[in-house]
């Protein structure tokens, strides 16, 4: 390796090229070097094989949705401080939870949208939802990645 730091891909390629040797000892040493290189990246030969099998394939819609949801959650966490949903008892207020759910209702099944809009509209008049509505609202909040401490 040169003085500049090589990427993982460059290191793997370099070790794989060593497998072309005509000397058995060098081939065995290269195989062990490849195992160490993969282990340093937190993977193994199975991970390498999986990567080769999936070369050129796009990610699935399910994986894309997971990435999107994680990005949305990360953004929400950055936009809101840890105390934005917390009242004096240390629990989230129903008003902030209702508005959070309304902003993120597109991430839930459409059957929940009308309920969320109804509860969010009650925040204007500070009308406390019934206990049953409260439980349903907080279950949706948890589905969206909200945390109750």
| Calpha distance 8→1 (Å, rounded) | 12
Give the confidence band of 82 by pLDDT, cuts at 50, 70, 90: very low
- Helix (H, G, I), strand (E, B), or coil: what is residue 110? helix
Give the confidence band of 4 by pLDDT, cuts at 50, 70, 90: low
105 with 41, same domain? Answer: no
- Residue 77 belongs to a domain: yes
- Residue 38 belongs to a domain: yes
| Calpha distance 6→138 (Å, rounded) | 49
pLDDT of 46 above 50? yes
Give the confidence band of 74 by pLDDT, cuts at 50, 70, 90: low
**How big is the chain, counted in residues?**
149
66 with 139, same domain? Answer: yes
- Residue 95 belongs to a domain: yes
- Residue 149 belongs to a domain: no
70 with 133, same domain? Answer: yes
- Residue 41 belongs to a domain: yes
What domain range includes position 133?
A: 61-143
DSSP 93: -
106 with 79, same domain? Answer: yes
- Residue 86 belongs to a domain: yes
Structural domain count, the chain: 2
């Amino acid at each position: 390796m040169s003085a500049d730091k090589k990427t993982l891909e460059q290191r793997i390629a370099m070790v794989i090229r060593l497998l072309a040797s005509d000397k058995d000892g060098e081939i065995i040493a290269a195989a062990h070097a490849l195992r160490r290189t993969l282990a340093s990246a937190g993977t193994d030969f199975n991970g390498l094989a999986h990567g080769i099998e999936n070369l050129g394939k796009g990610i699935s819609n399910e994986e894309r949705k997971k990435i999107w949801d994680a990005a949305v959650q990360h953004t929400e966490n950055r936009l809101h401080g840890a105390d934005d949903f917390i009242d004096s008892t240390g629990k989230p207020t129903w008003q902030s939870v209702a508005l959070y759910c309304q902003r993120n209702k597109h991430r839930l099944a459409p059957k929940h949208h009308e309920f969320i809009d109804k509860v969010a509209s009650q925040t204007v008049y500070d009308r406390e939802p019934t206990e049953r509505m409260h439980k349903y609202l907080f279950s949706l909040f948890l589905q969206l990645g909200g945390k109750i401490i």
